[in-house]
Amino acid sequence: MRIFVAIILLFISTAAFADNAGERTDGQRPPTATDVIVGLYTFGRFQQGLLESADLKGNAEVKNLAALRADEAARRDKALKEIQVAIGAEPHVGKPTAGASLAEPDDSEGPAYIRTFFAAQIPEYESAIGLLERYLKAPDNSALAAFAREQLPLLRSQVKDAERTMADK
């Protein structure tokens, strides 16, 4: 009986994790243009949040990088807005979720804060990259597909930089 209960609990927890992580199985529809726009707007909001955190807690290196990523997010959002208007999509971006908690201000100069800063970014990058890759398997808008193909190498490069920097610190 315990084994049966364990199997059911494992199945439920696995299904809940997949739902919470936003992963799609092979039987589900690919993301639409609106899904991609919302996902990238959410990613941009995350990057803006990192800038706010870095302004409060980060050293000069972290602040500069956060400002650069926030600028890139603003440019990406502007390009997305043009695509959004052209296709008539009306995405609804929810309230920002609390990101990973970064180190306290007294640790802002140390390697622990820098590792935490980069570690918070990696899953967000991977989520955005995964969304674009799934979209490109069956795109429903040529302008957004071109935009996604342009963004993927940039995002992949940035996540690799974050992983390297985190490992070096």
Provide the domain count of the chain.
1
81: in domain: yes
Which CATH number characterizes residue 40's domain? 1.20.1260.10
Residue 113 has a pLDDT of 76
Residues 6+ apart with CB under 8 A from 10: none
17: in domain: no
List pLDDT tens digits, range 64-75: 889 999 999 999
Range of the domain at 84: 30-168
CB 135 within 8 Å of CB 30? yes
List pLDDT tens digits, range 96-138: 544 444 444 444 556 777 788 888 999 999 999 999 999 999 9
Model pTM score: 0.73
Give backbone dihedrals phi and psi of 42, rounded to 5 degrees, phi first: -65, -40
154: in domain: yes
147: in domain: yes
CB 109 within 8 Å of CB 59? yes
Instruction: With CA atoms as reference, report the closest residue to 46 among 146, 162, 127.
Output: 127
| Interatomic CA distance for residues 154 and 53, integer angstroms | 23
21: in domain: no
Ranges 15-19, 105-109, 140-144, 147-151: which has the least confidence: 15-19
23: in domain: no
| Interatomic CA distance for residues 80 and 36, integer angstroms | 10
Residues 6+ apart with CB under 8 A from 165: 114, 118
148: in domain: yes
48: in domain: yes
